Structure 1
Amino acid sequence: MARSTKTRPVHEIRLGRIRAAIWENDTQNGTRHNVTLSRLYKDGEEWKDSPSFGRDDLPLVAKVADQAHLWIFQQTGGSETSESRQAVA
């Protein structure tokens, strides 16, 4: 079976039209995660996404971001967060 050349997120969280895609990146210091947030909308018959949010989208953006943070925290056992704090200190 051929593998797709398009990279896919390791996890997605969706509430209504708001989506968080969680990406995994292997680095010299271990695995790191990044999150992209988007709003889904329909243009005619085609579904598209946008990185722009309206006022009424923001409560769901906050909830999706919180759930993405929790998922990453559970996957890494909190190591990614504590290493980030040490780098800032």
Structure 2
Amino acid sequence: MATKQKTRPVHEVRLGVVKAAIWANETDNGVRHNVTLSRIYKDGDEWKDSTSFGRDDLPLVAKVVDKAHDWIFEEASSTS
């Protein structure tokens, strides 16, 4: 029986509790990147994540998205 391998992001940006995972997708036109955002938190002894952000998370969301954007453009220029 074949085991399904877990796909991992090509890069992650994290500031505090906000994290951006950057995913590479091969297309006929080359690699395209997508970004997923999450907020991590601890529930008892277990770490969990959420895609919901509070008011005070939003400045970090903006910074993490900006850093992810920078990484994607640097990655694209280094592979061109």
TM-score between both structures, scaled by the size of structure 2: 0.90
Tell me the equivalent position of 1:76.
Answer: 76
Separation (CA, whole Å) in 2 of partners of 1:8 and 1:40:
17
**Amino acid across the alignment from 2:39:** R
Q: Equivalent pairs: percent with the same residue?
A: 72
Gap runs ≥5 in structure 1: 78-89
Separation (CA, whole Å) in 2 of partners of 1:4 and 1:22:
20
TM-score between both structures, scaled by the size of structure 1: 0.81
Moved over 4 A (4+): none
Task: Please state if 1:16 is matched with 2:16.
Answer: yes
Greater helix share, structure number = 1
**Amino acid across the alignment from 2:14:** R
Aligned residues: 75
Separation (CA, whole Å) in 1 of partners of 2:49 and 2:76:
28
Greater strand share, structure number = 2
Higher relative contact order, chain-length normalized (CA < 8 Å, sep 6+): 2
Cα 1:11–1:4 shift into 2, 3 Å: farther
Residues 29-68 of structure 1 mapped to structure 2, 5 A cutoff: 29-68=29-68
Tell me the equivalent position of 1:5.
Answer: 5
3-state SS in 2 of match to 1:35: strand
- Cα deviation code 1:34-87 (max 9, x no counterpart): 00000000111000100000000000000000000000000002xxxxxxxxxx
**Amino acid across the alignment from 2:59:** P
What is the aligned-residue RMSD (CA, Å)? 1.3
Cα deviation for residue 12 of structure 1 reads 0.4
